[in-house]
Amino acid sequence: MKLLRPVFLLLTLLLTAFYAEAQLDRAEKKMVKYVDEHNKEGLVLLKQIININSGSMNFEGVKAVGDVLMKEFAALGMEVEWIDGASFNRAGHLVARIEGGKGKKILMIGHLDTVFEKDSPNQEWRDIDENIVKAPGIADMKGGDVIILQSLKALKHAGLLEDMNITVVMTGDEELSGRPLDKARKVLIEAAEWADIALGFENGDGDPKTAIVVRRSSSGWTLKVTGNAAHSSQIFKPRVGAGAIYEASRILYQFYDELSKEEFLTFNPGMILGGTTVEYDPALKQGTAFGKGNVVSKDVTVTGDIRCISPEQLARAQATMKAIVSRHLPQTDATISFGTGYPPFAPAPGNYELLSQFSQVSQDLGFGVVEAVNPSNAGAADISFTSQYVEMGIDGMGMGGADDHTINETGDLRTFPMQTKRAAVLMYRIMKGIALGKGK
């Protein structure tokens, strides 16, 4: 019996490969073969751009990565443009376009920057073993950037790219967005208005068995509270009241009490300053406070973030928070303001339909079913800005890995050709109308 097990395993693998081969048409087989034959070239390019530091605030480094990739897109016959980021205090964005007139309009989304600035100890590609590489931004998301490029090369090799409608936007500030945000995301929103379908190549949860159909929003809020400064012996008296710190405490507790159980909603007070005097610099995200135990607090500033699954959930949460703030302990006042940020990539029937087709592509290639990531595990990303414009979209089509945003970030090289094949075949089927009905 033990001797039969290896034979059974071999037969299973052969049957799986045969089945996968049988599900692909001639063009798809050609693309798959191209990806396999040129995978090493893609990894050489990936290593090249990883070894260029492109922390969000290293403008020269971000532009240098963009320059490398722009040459690659231009060689495919795409129209290439660099959008200067001076107006939003960042390096800028890469845009590549081709419009051949057939099928749906596809927006492919990546980003050039990483969280690792010049002073990070994590600066270069390091092999852990034959499959795992430790490197800055390999999963989030330079691996995804090169997957975009490799999938387009496969389409080009099959004689398909010239007939397709594709725009690639790779932002230079996804990890630390420029301000004002409307200028920083202007080119991405314009591309989304043009597109029918958005494909995001972030690493998602790092598992190629999943993709993202919903992302929660990410925006900020600021709470300002005032009270009557007085000797502490007079606190709670009608003339003095409760003081600013008690009022801030009440508000924060009631946020928790009334909203913490709502699914997919989170709100985090990340910074609080309170006392007799408070100075806070919103640009630097830091400040100072002075107070004494025998003085009733006069001012409190609290800043935090809020994350929601839909615009409707965000509006409800903000309304509840405003109502809580307005109640006031004696002799106190408080206001809350909400900043702009990343909108939610809201759940939509089209997103789930596209995921189903992506999963079918994966199965036809022999890679198995792809399921949706739990929205609680999906933070904000650039695809969120497309939500209200495109018919459908998915994210998490990038390279698998682990520990992104840390000096231990790794990428799994086995997922590189897998994700490239999935992307190329999906886009081909979209163009042909196989996946989503006839293109417009």
- 114 pLDDT above the threshold of 90: yes
- C-alpha distance from residue 387 to each of 76, 148, 189, 213, 411 (Å): 28, 20, 10, 10, 28
- 165 pLDDT above the threshold of 90: yes
Instruction: Using a pLDDT cut of 70, give the percent of the chain over it.
Output: 93
Residue with tokens 């509006």: 315
Helical segments of 138-243, H only: 143-157, 181-184, 186-194
Confidence of residue 10 (pLDDT cuts 50, 70, 90): very low
**CA-to-CA distance for 295 and 300, rounded, in angstroms?**
14
- C-alpha distance from residue 188 to each of 66, 111, 167, 203, 387 (Å): 16, 11, 10, 19, 11
* Angle between the N-to-C axes of helices 26-37 and 143-157, in degrees from 0 to 180, rounded to the nearest 10: 130
- 324 pLDDT above the threshold of 70: yes
Q: What is the mean pLDDT of residues 340-369?
A: 96
Q: What is the pLDDT of residue 147?
A: 98
- 434 pLDDT above the threshold of 80: no
- Looking at domain 25-215+345-432, its CATH class is alpha beta
Confidence of residue 16 (pLDDT cuts 50, 70, 90): low
Q: What is the mean pLDDT of residues 408-413?
A: 98
DSSP state of 137: T
Confidence of residue 436 (pLDDT cuts 50, 70, 90): low
CB 374 within 8 A of CB 212: no
- 348 pLDDT above the threshold of 80: yes
Q: What is the pLDDT of residue 380?
A: 87
Q: What is the mean pLDDT of residues 415-439?
A: 85
Q: What is the pLDDT of residue 361?
A: 98
Confidence of residue 377 (pLDDT cuts 50, 70, 90): confident
* Angle between the N-to-C axes of helices 415-432 and 39-50, in degrees from 0 to 180, rounded to the nearest 10: 110
Q: What is the pLDDT of residue 305?
A: 96
**CA-to-CA distance for 104 and 163, rounded, in angstroms?**
11
CATH topology of domain 219-338: Alpha-Beta Plaits (3.30.70)
**CA-to-CA distance for 379 and 342, rounded, in angstroms?**
10
Q: Would you call 174 exposed, middle or buried from its count of C-beta atoms within 10 A (0-12, 13-18, 19+)? A: buried
- 7 pLDDT above the threshold of 70: no
Q: Where in the chain are all domains bearing CATH 3.40.630.10?
A: 25-215+345-432
428: nearest Cα among 16, 10, 8, 29? 29
Confidence of residue 8 (pLDDT cuts 50, 70, 90): very low
Q: What is the pLDDT of residue 378?
A: 82
Which is more confident, 138 or 439? 138
CB 361 within 8 A of CB 397: no
Q: Where in the chain are all domains bearing CATH 3.30.70.360?
A: 219-338
Which residues are paired to 334 by β-bridges? 225
**CA-to-CA distance for 335 and 300, rounded, in angstroms?**
11
